[in-house]
Amino acid sequence: MKGLSGSRCCFYMGFLVGTLSLYFLRQVWFEMSMKPDVLGEGQDSSVAALSKKRQASDSNNWRMEGATLINLNHPHHIGEDSSVADELYRKVRILCWVMTGPSNLQTKARHVKATWSRHCNVVVFMSSIDDPDFPTVGLGTGEGRDQLYWKTIRAFHYALEHHGNDADWFLKADDDTFVVVDNLRWVLSNHTPEEPLYFGKRFKPYAKQGYMSGGAGYVLSKEALRRFVEGFKTKVCTHTTSVEDLALGQCLEKMGVLAMDSRDTLQRETFHPFVPEHHLTGKFSKSFWYWSYCYYPIVEGPRCCSDLAVSFHYVDAELMYTLEYWTYHLRAYGYRYRYRPPLSQGLVERQAQTERPTVGTAGRGRTPAGITVGGDGDQSKAESGAKPLSDKGGKETLGKIPIDNNRTAVTQERQG
């Protein structure tokens, strides 16, 4: 009797042990198969794959000439009509050189490379040391604030010597400057590179015509650059101080280069020495040096900054990508911007020659009663009068507004 119940008991125990152990074995097996790659090697392989992917996409868009990146494809968005931007890209060629250093490549310059510098015609990263991988040009200077003007002098000499024919305008920016290159082209489109001009955020002290803030970025025309280089050849200009923006401004003044007004048609600044939040929402304390430096009156609040802003400074990595997102990606569908300035006359004529005029056909008979379509400030009912557009036949209607002058845009509506 005992033997029988004993073996039966053992059987049940065995059964229990078998079930439980298999269950836990399965659990463990499952977890192991579901677990993501063990961090060490998984991470490495994915990072390697990422950088390979990045290199592949980069090689389609960039041609490397020594340490210079020549842009092959102006970045485009699906579904956008960038014909005006493309025209400007061809006509207003910009070489962007970015002041950086070996210790900033991975923390700052890398983000510039991934964002706004892709919109330049030519990009050169200027450092004290050559780096063929990034790539950067080695200017043969040291690093640090006291080397800034030396770097600037050599960088501009390099740009003229190696790329004098690849660009019409030469932009200097820091590795914490964000530049909307397309808007810079708009600002420059009314001028020719044969004139000795330079644009930027204009400061007034220490130079009769003022000088441009280094951090906010500044742009020299080809003639201005020639004169700068000439100045050093003839010793009219020398390394006077390490305050690079002031020193450069004084040299250019001596060489007869004009400091220009880069504000938009509503007198709003385009080059900004601080981040957007500071200009839009900050109040500069009256004792702050900024008040006595600005050439033009400081405007606080929304009117500080042009819709077609060109630059911001003290931009960290997160803000670089955020600005790129705001500028080139995020938009309000169908929104008709309040500020719609015209293109320069010369470019408008060239545009008109290449495209069939569709001005005047737009809107005619397409706005039945009940839809509010008045121009700005003429909205009776709701705040957003939505007006339908027919895009059939590819005819551009109000999409042409940025090119046509405001008069035409309003006329289109009155016809409705």
Partner 1 sequence: MLSEGSSFVKGIALGGTFCLLLSLLGSFAPGMQSSPEDHHHHHIKAPTKDELQSLSDSQMVELSQRVRVYCVIMVQPSVLVYWSTAKDTWGKHCDQAVFYSSESAKALEAVDLKEQDEWAKLRKALKHAYDNAGDLRWFFVARPTTFAIIENLKYLILAKDPNEPFYIGHAMKSGELEYVEYQSGIVLSYEALKRLVNVFKDEEKCPERGRALWKLSEEKQLAICLKYTGVFAENGEDTQGKGLFNSKSVGSLIQDSMDKKNVDVVEGCCSDLAITFSGMSPNQMQVMMFGVYRLRPYGHNFHDSLIFLPPEGSDND
In the region spanning residues 116 to 155, those forming contacts with partner 1, defined by CB under 8 A, are 119
Task: Judge whether 159 and 219 are in contact, CB under 8 Å.
Answer: no
Tokens of 23: 């269950």
Q: Do the bridges between strand 62-65 and strand 211-212 make them parallel or antiparallel, or are there none, so unpaired?
A: unpaired
Select the residue interacting with partner 1 from 67, 69, 71, 88 (CB under 8 A): 88
Name the segment binding partner 1 (CB under 8 A); options: 136-144, 209-217, 239-247, 331-339.
331-339
Q: Which residue, 233 or 393, is less far from partner 1 as judged by CB?
A: 393
| C-alpha distance from residue 346 to each of 187, 258, 349, 351 (Å) | 14, 22, 5, 9
Place of tokens 């046509």: 404
* Site track 285-304 with partner 1 (rule: CB under 8 A), x = hit: ----------------xxx-
Does residue 38 bind partner 1 (CB under 8 A)?
Answer: no
Touching partner 1, residues 148-187 (CB under 8 A): 180-183, 185-186
Task: Judge whether 275 and 311 are in contact, CB under 8 Å.
Answer: no
Which is nearest to 189 in space by CA: 177, 199, 179?
199
Task: Judge whether 97 and 120 are in contact, CB under 8 Å.
Answer: no
Name the segment binding partner 1 (CB under 8 A); options: 136-144, 202-210, 237-245, 368-376.
368-376
Select the residue interacting with partner 1 from 155, 255, 305, 315 (CB under 8 A): 305
Q: Which residue, 153 or 180, is less far from partner 1 as judged by CB?
A: 180
Q: How far is the CB of 403 from partner 1 (least distance, A)?
A: 9
Tokens of 62: 């960039």
SS3 (DSSP) at 412: helix
* C-alpha–C-alpha distance, residues 406 and 118, integer Å: 31
Question: Could you tell me which residues come within 8 angstroms of residue 245 by beta carbon, excluding any fewer than 6 positions away?
Answer: 203, 211, 212, 213, 214, 215, 218
Other C-beta atoms within 10 Å of 371: how many? 13
Select the residue interacting with partner 1 from 77, 90, 208, 414 (CB under 8 A): 77
Residue type, 135: P
Does residue 210 bind partner 1 (CB under 8 A)?
Answer: no
Q: How far is the CB of 115 from partner 1 (least distance, A)?
A: 8
Does residue 405 bind partner 1 (CB under 8 A)?
Answer: no
> Torsions phi, psi of 110, nearest 5?
-60, -35
Name the segment binding partner 1 (CB under 8 A); options: 135-143, 150-158, 202-210, 398-406.
398-406
Select the residue interacting with partner 1 from 102, 138, 164, 385 (CB under 8 A): 385
Q: How far is the CB of 58 from partner 1 (least distance, A)?
A: 10
In Å, how far from its chain's centre is CA 154? 25
Which is nearest to 93 in space by CA: 229, 179, 221?
221
Touching partner 1, residues 6-25 (CB under 8 A): 6-8, 10-23
Touching partner 1, residues 254-283 (CB under 8 A): 276-277, 280-281
Q: Which residue, 94 or 308, is less far from partner 1 as judged by CB?
A: 308
Q: Which residue, 77 or 350, is less far from partner 1 as judged by CB?
A: 77
Name the segment binding partner 1 (CB under 8 A); options: 232-240, 255-263, 290-298, 381-389.
381-389
* C-alpha–C-alpha distance, residues 286 and 362, integer Å: 50
DSSP state of 37: P
Does residue 39 bind partner 1 (CB under 8 A)?
Answer: no
Select the residue interacting with partner 1 from 174, 244, 396, 404 (CB under 8 A): 396
Q: Which residue, 161 or 330, is less far from partner 1 as judged by CB?
A: 330
Select the residue interacting with partner 1 from 331, 350, 364, 414 (CB under 8 A): 331
Q: Rounded to 5 degrees, what angle do the CA atoms 239, 241, 246 make? A: 105
Give the sign of the dihedral formed by CA 401, CA 405, CA 408, CA 410. Answer: positive
Q: Which residue, 164 or 402, is less far from partner 1 as judged by CB?
A: 402
Select the residue interacting with partner 1 from 317, 348, 359, 410 (CB under 8 A): 317
Q: How far is the CB of 25 from partner 1 (least distance, A)?
A: 9
* C-alpha–C-alpha distance, residues 116 and 315, integer Å: 12
* Site track 55-74 with partner 1 (rule: CB under 8 A), x = hit: --x-----------------
